[in-house]
Structure 1
Amino acid sequence: MHARKSRRFLLPVATVFLACGGCSDDPSGGGAPLGEEQQGIATFYDADGSGNCSYEPTGDLMVAAMNTPQYANSAACGQCVDITGPKGSVRVRIVDRCPECESGHLDLSRQAFARIADMHLGRVDITWTPVSCDVAGNVEYFFKDGSNPWWTAIQVRNHRLPIQKLEWRRGTGGWQDVPRESYNYFVNASGMGDGPFSVRVTAVDGQQLEDTLDSVLDNRGVEGAAQFR
């Protein structure tokens, strides 16, 4: 049995743009592409919904930690995965990283593991496939605690599809990439100013959402105007 404890290290929206840009051969950024079946193993740990993806604990414990190679510097965060084991199937959301797990390995919550195998087994062979999440409402932009006009960290939440990148711009200027950190925030070390400013989020299949935000918040979120298809 693999038992590790969970780790942790509104504004008006003006515009929306939905498009499919040029998709790369591996849009996952090195993770597991949508719809591509994976072979691996499952273990379990004492999950509470928090972890390396910087989400808060949740009452929905159908969650898992992704192995480090397919975590892809947090690109797997928020991704949904269908898992089939010897006893049954379950859908989980990726909320954490398993640093010691090799490619193909998923570390599940106890509740999720019980859906696919008997608990006493502790470690079982599985197949798993990344899928779109069944979410309600639009995407959310959550600003990390400490964010301000001179240092801005944004996390995309409530997304149907894994997020490939986030860009920002002021006015009609050019789009600028915002680097992604392993703890699942896009961080602009120079800040985004007082606002308003626009953000553009690209999903792994090339779809894009564009929103205009009024200002930088501190440890608060704002709902976007649309959701990925």
Structure 2
Amino acid sequence: IALNRPQFFNSLSCGMCFKVHGSGKGLGSDPIVGDSTVFVKDLCPECLAGSVDLAENGDGRWEVEIQAVQCPVGSTKLEYKFQGSNPWYLKLQVRNARIPVTGLSVWQPKSHRWAAMHHSSDGFWLMGPGLFEKPVHPSAHTPLKMKLTGANGVVIEDQITQMGERKG
């Protein structure tokens, strides 16, 4: 779905799931009836608080109720999608999380500390120049130790064993 701006939180809501309930009340020829679990993928800039765009063919405006729920990812592992990452720049997106990730840090072996990554408006996490000790091929930097903070405050550690669209 595309989520309204007030609840999109500058893309921190990307990747979270909602239960959408429709009673068929509204206008148009294709009513929303019943419950569905949906995945937040985009921003609906014209939607008001509590509204969603289901991105389905059809017309109408339907009254719906939304409730945040854990994503039904089963026993899958976290995944990391990389975009434009190289020896000097890291840009990744966390996937298969049950709840949104609101903080992400990467371990800095040279300084022995966690360095916070910056969240971008397109749903990725960024770390610019200075991440690595010297510019070498990205695969030489793995495994990368990651610390993820969930919207509920729970912190977990994970590691990325390969750069690319791979499972951690």
User: So what's the TM-score if we normalise by structure 2?
Assistant: 0.80
C-alpha distance 191-147 of structure 1, shift in aligned 2 (>3 A): farther
Shift of 1:185: 0.5
Indicate conservation of the 8 Å contact 1:195/1:214, yes or no: no
**1:16-65 deviation line (CA, Å, top 9, x unaligned):** xxxxxxxxxxxxxxxxxxxxxxxxxxxxxxxxxxxxxxxxxxxxxxxx10
2:95 equivalent among 157, 160, 164: 157
Q: Report percent identity of matched pairs.
A: 32
What letter corresponds to residue 11 of structure 2 in structure 1? S
- 1:99-118 equivalences under 5 Å are 99-110=45-56
Q: Which runs of 5+ in 1 are unaligned?
A: 1-63, 112-118, 225-229
Shift of 1:191: 5.4
Point out the structure with the larger strand share. 2
C-alpha distance 199-76 of structure 1, shift in aligned 2 (>3 A): same
Shift of 1:102: 2.1
Q: How many residues align?
A: 149
Tell whether 2:67 aligns with 1:129: yes
Q: Matched residue of 1:109: which SS?
A: coil
Of structures 1 and 2, the one with the larger relative CO (CA 8 A, separation 6+) is 1
User: So what's the TM-score if we normalise by structure 1?
Assistant: 0.60
Q: Matched residue of 2:9: which SS?
A: helix
What letter corresponds to residue 49 of structure 2 in structure 1? S
Indicate conservation of the 8 Å contact 1:152/1:191, yes or no: no
Q: Which runs of 5+ in 2 are unaligned?
A: 24-32, 133-139
C-alpha distance 80-214 of structure 1, shift in aligned 2 (>3 A): closer
What letter corresponds to residue 103 of structure 1 in structure 2? A
Give the greater-gyration-radius structure (CA): 2
Distance 2:72 2:22 in 1: 21
What letter corresponds to residue 78 of structure 1 in structure 2? G
Distance 1:98 1:67 in 2: 5
Q: CA RMSD in A?
A: 1.8
State the match for 2:131 in structure 1: 192
